[in-house]
Structure 1
Amino acid sequence: MPSKRTARIGALTVATICSTVSAVVLTSPAEADSIRIHDIQGTTRTSPLVGQQVTGVEGIVTGVRTYGSSRGFWIQDARADDSPATSEGVFVFTGSRPTVSVGDAVAVAGTVGEFVPGGTSSGNQSVTQITRPTITVVSTGNAVPAATVIDAKSVPARYTPAGDTAANGSINALPLAPAKYALDHYESLEGMNVQVADARVVTATDPFTELWVTVKPWENRNSRGGTVYGSYDSQNTGRLQIQSLGAVADFPKANVGDALTGTTTGPLDYSQFGGYTLVANQIGTLKQGGLERETTRKQTRGELAVATYNVENLDPSDDTFADHAAAIVNNLQSPDIVALEEIQDNNGATKDGTVAADQTMKKLVDAVAAAGGPAYDWRSIDPVDLADGGQPGGNIRQVFLFNPERVSFTDRAGGDATTAVGVTKAYGKAHLTVSPGRIDPANAAWTNSRKPLVGEFVFRGKSVFVIANHFASKGGDQALHSQFQPPTRSSETQRHLQATAVNTFVKEILATQKNANVIALGDINDFEFSDTAKLLEDDGALWSAVKSLPKSERYSYVYQGNAQVLDQILISPSIRRSCAYTYDSVHINSEFHDQISDHDPSVLRFRP
């Protein structure tokens, strides 16, 4: 999964940008032969005038940003040139609160710059802007240039050109082809006044007062109103982030499948956590789509129900225990086994050496019982302090929650944070040397990452081996909208090592007992079509059950307008061959603005 965000002010990333306070002068208009905005923007992603001083740059103010670390305003030239590749808008960075107003005609002098949200190491594209400005207000109350419509007809079906191999894969210097590529189309409108109309929400409003819409209603649409991300080569080109220049309290609280009816209008910006972003002066009216949280079916008496659920940094200080309990009891129908990810220690993110999570688990187990669920038992292994990544001090780990009235846990002593679990054979059957145990915890694959937790369960006399995983996050990967195309997915390296280690262990079990029931599940932090998934499945040792669903239903996480798979349940050949299994990704969180976790749980039911 993409990394959790750091400090933000309003909807903007906190960044340090050198600037001087702008000066506003009420004097004469700019010279007739002055540089125009389209000269600054040019026909590539970076300005041909970067680093140069410009004077008398004319435009009408179309938007003013008074908050965050990137205060300033957008201007647009009402006299456009005849090139579709050159934008007629540009951002003027003031650093302090701007004193101009929408509708002012201004002439600006300053330095042309390229600002990369998130820094150059992020791989993000840059925003062309004028810095250290001196501003001349020529007149006030002017009509704002008409907004350019962004819709299904105007946005091309292809997402991006391939990067220039001579420039490490960067697309910055490539001539823009706005009629051919979606990213080029958006770049050709950078800084301009744009609008979308009757746009469907494809990522719910987040805590940073942002949401995503699509301008292509039928692009990879699913039945719940989202837009599914199905392969690296099939980008969803109609996605666009929406922020607001207005008060946070006025921002709509939208779910996936809702719509912003009417028009949403404002300057087109580019942000660190979303790429091209419509920063709205005017937001359409929220029309609710009526999306409801899903409830899976109850397992039958002879079915074993095994679920995975990332509860997002749960610790005793959180106020979400009752909500998580209700989700487990009602929406998941009290599975027999639940692999929980992101259970934190007893004092959460406090760095004081605490690693035990018994208080966290007691609070959850009690909440489940209070919600009418079973009296769950649990097993886990406390990690070495600060060794497993996640929120510093939180010591997240995986935990098995299980219903002892339906399944029994086979306890074998000796499992701890540093002891590797092994496989033995007794009476022709595979057994774990320790249970619960950890898979190869000294392997460099698990450096600063969660070690897989494996346990041996018995259901109706049949042994089932369950491996709970939480692979390394996608933090550090270049974004889909990166200046480097295709973007580098550097975080894959560790997940590939992790997948190989888990696959190797599963093969040890299957070599000992060919027909063993093995389930590897959890927050894999990668897609069902990824190389990570292929390495987990290697030689048929496992198979991701999410692929039993139609492609339009394969998702457990929604990010930047893409409904995608991060959570998976993989099954061994004996389970798959039986065909007596069903898989359900239960959508209770990822599509909703009031989510209690950013992940949806998944559940597998089968007859061992």
Structure 2
Amino acid sequence: MFSRSRLAALAVTTACCATGAVVVTSPAHAATVAIHDIQGATRTSPLAGQQVAGVTGVVTGVRTYGSSRGFWFQDTAPDDDPATSEGVFVFTGSAPAVQVGDAVTVSGTVSEYVPGGASSGNQSLTEITKPTVAVVSSGNEVPVTTVGAKSVPAAYTPAGDPAANGSVNGLTLRPKKYALDYYESLEGQNIRIGSSRVVTASDPYAELWVTVKPAENPTARGGARYGSYTSQNTGRLQIQSLGAAADFPAANVGDVLYGSTEGPLDFSQYGGYTLVAREFGTLKQSGLARETTRAQTSGELAVATYNVENLDPTDATFEEHAAAIVDNLKSPDIVSLEEIQDNNGAKDDGTVAADVTLGKLIDAVVAAGGPRYEWRSIDPVDKQDGGEPGGNIRQAFLFNPERVSFTDRAGGDATTPVGVVRSHGKAALTASPGRIDPANEAWKNSRKPLAGEFTFRGKTVFVIANHFASKGGDQGLTSQFQPPARSSETQRHAQAVSVNSFVKSVLKVQKNADVIALGDINDFEFSGTAQRLEDGGALWSAIKSLPRSERYTYDYQGNSQVLDQILISPSIRKKAAFRYDSVHINSEFHDQISDHDPQVLRLRP
């Protein structure tokens, strides 16, 4: 492999004064500069910023759309170092005048491009920019590397270099030991996968995820479960298409791309290593059906949480959400809704009321054959609860007045904290509904918890509706920094402490109080957030009562994972009469009406 100084001496540049284009010339021996010399044995090129000439290979893919137009080409005479990729992307900026199978000679500048920008923490993509390209011949055989279960290591990534702030960029690749090193060693190469199961449904951006390891942490319905921070599922691979978006398959989790799918291995801002398919396998549908939970018995209280994804009166999904509540969830007695927007949605004019949004949903539930729910909520202060600007999202309770009653107690508003008092020897809220600790810095620009007091068959049940801070800003699993930083969890940890403290205040007054804290927690059942919610045994995440293969509520980048939770106090857990169900109606489907699956808890207070 050539050193930086050796290659710099080989390449001589001149500028064409008429056009400003850079033309690269070199002595004849510069032709020995190969793609694997450019890629090197680390994640960044040893030649970054330098000009190279006479780089040869065969075109394996052409991208004629979007902001990153260009082509991939690959050396047909690889070296014997498995760490050095034989393929690279050539950024042309406009539709390139080459075709797959063309043998080409390329000169240009070696560059490192970070999808999403340096602040994203993403790994960089090695490219040749400002190229001059000569087509030598056409119709050549395209080299290909097969990627499968046996070729991808079980370990995900090495730890980053402490001297480089945890970056793995400068570490020599060990493709036989780590999955991310293996994929990086193939960056820009033409790869082929065989029949592979879909583990994240296709999305509006013409992307889906498959696994090349069918036995790796499978869910009961065909996904790949994310069960810990060190179990990232190494077989996951994002698939995009080099063809028209309209030709992209509409796939659900559990479907299979049969046959071979082939194309260059790219690195995407959203998801990391991506097979950009030039040829697609044939989609075979698994027939995955949306789940339906069972109805509660007369003596069971059914409590659900459902993130309805920025619902406002202009949306076209009210009938579908209503059908989900009535048909799939069997009309729970209490429904905690997250992401209810104000009456004019994202229009930013100071509106904060959401009575029109909630009324429209309730009417749709009745039209679908369900009960006429009543609702309780507290309007936020304008632009203080985060979410889509102008939308003023908040939590709200729906409840069936024929089955459960709500204890209305005045005093709750956007800024007044709800407290706990003793009344007739039992715990009671000072306001119902009321917001928990709204002035706490933990809830800055985030949804404040909504507490309500319900009565079912003469028994009081306290319900706390939550929507914790999102994971926005966290580094991805394929970040150059390993382990990736989860900066957003700092706020969720503080939020969890706030909710846990409130629950403890209820239990201090009444040890056997039935308390349910539920909602979009935006964190895993094994996370530090969940641990803080459960601190001291005040709560327990009931999704852990399910078999591991059924513990998921959300599907992200090929990982089926838990974000939505229902946590219960010791009195409910000790009764052992509760039943939990994660009702999979959204996360696994390409035509989802929300990105979250609802959760239902049935209990006997």
TM-score of the superposed pair, with normalisation by structure 2 = 0.95
Are 2:58 and 1:60 equivalent residues in the alignment?
yes
User: Which amino acid is the alignment partner of residue 85 of structure 1?
Assistant: A
Are 2:108 and 1:103 equivalent residues in the alignment?
no
CA RMSD of aligned residues (A): 1.5
Query: What is the alpha-carbon distance in structure 2 between the residues aligned to residue 151 and residue 228 of structure 1?
Result: 19
User: Which amino acid is the alignment partner of residue 90 of structure 2?
Assistant: V
Contact persistence 2:463–2:517 (CA under 8 A): yes
3-state SS in 2 of match to 1:207: coil
Residue equivalent to 1:122: 120
Query: What is the alpha-carbon distance in structure 1 between the residues aligned to residue 28 and residue 378 of structure 2?
Result: 70
Residue equivalent to 1:5: none
Q: How much does 1:96 deviate?
A: 1.5
Query: What is the alpha-carbon distance in structure 2 between the residues aligned to residue 370 and residue 33 of structure 1?
Result: 73
Query: What is the alpha-carbon distance in structure 1 between the residues aligned to residue 189 and residue 33 of structure 2?
Result: 17
Given the superposition, is the C-alpha separation of residues 375 and 350 from structure 1 closer, same or farther in structure 2, using an over 3 Å criterion? same
Residue equivalent to 1:446: 443
Deviation string for 1:273-295 (max 9, x for gaps)? Answer: 11000000001000001100000
Query: What is the alpha-carbon distance in structure 2 between the residues aligned to residue 24 and residue 212 of structure 1?
Result: 40
Which of 189, 192, 210 is 2:189 aligned to?
A: 192
Q: How much does 1:496 deviate?
A: 0.3
Deviation string for 1:191-246 (max 9, x for gaps)? Answer: 00001110000000011110000000000012211100000112200000000000
Residue equivalent to 2:8: none
Are 2:246 and 1:245 equivalent residues in the alignment?
no
Residue equivalent to 2:536: 539
Which of 214, 224, 229 is 2:226 aligned to?
A: 229
Unpaired runs of 5+ residues, structure 1, are 1-20
Query: What is the alpha-carbon distance in structure 1 between the residues aligned to residue 244 and residue 455 of structure 2?
Result: 56
Query: What is the alpha-carbon distance in structure 2 between the residues aligned to residue 99 and residue 105 of structure 1?
Result: 12
Are 2:386 and 1:411 equivalent residues in the alignment?
no
Deviation string for 1:555-587 (max 9, x for gaps)? Answer: 000000000000000000000000010000000
Query: What is the alpha-carbon distance in structure 1 between the residues aligned to residue 110 and residue 455 of structure 2?
Result: 68
Residue equivalent to 1:420: 417
Residue equivalent to 1:307: 304
Residue equivalent to 1:139: 137
Unpaired runs of 5+ residues, structure 2, are 1-18
Residue equivalent to 1:291: 288
Contact persistence 1:41–1:86 (CA under 8 A): yes
Are 2:582 and 1:590 equivalent residues in the alignment?
no
Contact persistence 1:89–1:193 (CA under 8 A): yes
User: Which amino acid is the alignment partner of residue 52 of structure 2?
Assistant: V
Q: How much does 1:441 deviate?
A: 0.4
Contact persistence 1:24–1:137 (CA under 8 A): no
Q: How much does 1:59 deviate?
A: 1.2
Which of 321, 324, 329 is 1:324 aligned to?
A: 321
Query: What is the alpha-carbon distance in structure 2 between the residues aligned to residue 223 and residue 59 of structure 1?
Result: 45
3-state SS in 2 of match to 1:57: strand
User: Which amino acid is the alignment partner of residue 105 of structure 1?
Assistant: A
Query: What is the alpha-carbon distance in structure 1 between the residues aligned to residue 498 and residue 548 of structure 2?
Result: 28
Which of 47, 68, 83 is 2:81 aligned to?
A: 83
Alignment of 1:209-288 (within 5 A): 209-288=206-285
Contact persistence 1:34–1:55 (CA under 8 A): no
Query: What is the alpha-carbon distance in structure 2 between the residues aligned to residue 428 and residue 229 of structure 1?
Result: 44
Residue equivalent to 2:458: 461
Deviation string for 1:450-499 (max 9, x for gaps)? Answer: 00000000000111000000000000001011111111100010000000
Contact persistence 1:29–1:136 (CA under 8 A): no
Contact persistence 1:215–1:239 (CA under 8 A): yes
Query: What is the alpha-carbon distance in structure 1 between the residues aligned to residue 409 and residue 539 of structure 2?
Result: 25
Deviation string for 1:507-544 (max 9, x for gaps)? Answer: 00000111100000000000000000000000000000
3-state SS in 2 of match to 1:33: helix
Identity value in percent: 77
Deviation string for 1:24-73 (max 9, x for gaps)? Answer: 99x99986733100000000000000000111111111111111111111
Are 2:548 and 1:551 equivalent residues in the alignment?
yes
Greater alpha carbon shift after TM alignment, 253-262 vs 133-142: 133-142
User: Which amino acid is the alignment partner of residue 367 of structure 1?
Assistant: A
Given the superposition, is the C-alpha separation of residues 318 and 30 from structure 1 closer, same or farther in structure 2, using an over 3 Å criterion? farther
Query: What is the alpha-carbon distance in structure 1 between the residues aligned to residue 226 and residue 28 of structure 2?
Result: 48
Residue equivalent to 1:511: 508
Paired residues in the alignment total 586
Residue equivalent to 1:435: 432
3-state SS in 2 of match to 1:234: coil
Q: How much does 1:141 deviate?
A: 2.0
Residue equivalent to 2:518: 521
Residue equivalent to 2:341: 344
Query: What is the alpha-carbon distance in structure 2 between the residues aligned to residue 462 and residue 602 of structure 1?
Result: 22
Query: What is the alpha-carbon distance in structure 2 between the residues aligned to residue 459 and residue 345 of structure 1?
Result: 30
Residue equivalent to 2:561: 564
Which of 39, 42, 56 is 1:41 aligned to?
A: 39
3-state SS in 2 of match to 1:494: helix
Given the superposition, is the C-alpha separation of residues 588 and 31 from structure 1 closer, same or farther in structure 2, using an over 3 Å criterion? same
Residue equivalent to 2:492: 495
User: Which amino acid is the alignment partner of residue 492 of structure 1?
Assistant: E
Contact persistence 1:519–1:572 (CA under 8 A): yes
TM-score of the superposed pair, with normalisation by structure 1 = 0.95
Given the superposition, is the C-alpha separation of residues 606 and 30 from structure 1 closer, same or farther in structure 2, using an over 3 Å criterion? farther
Query: What is the alpha-carbon distance in structure 2 between the residues aligned to residue 223 and residue 230 of structure 1?
Result: 14
Contact persistence 2:26–2:53 (CA under 8 A): no
Query: What is the alpha-carbon distance in structure 1 between the residues aligned to residue 358 and residue 472 of structure 2?
Result: 28
Deviation string for 1:429-468 (max 9, x for gaps)? Answer: 1111111000010000000000000000000011100000
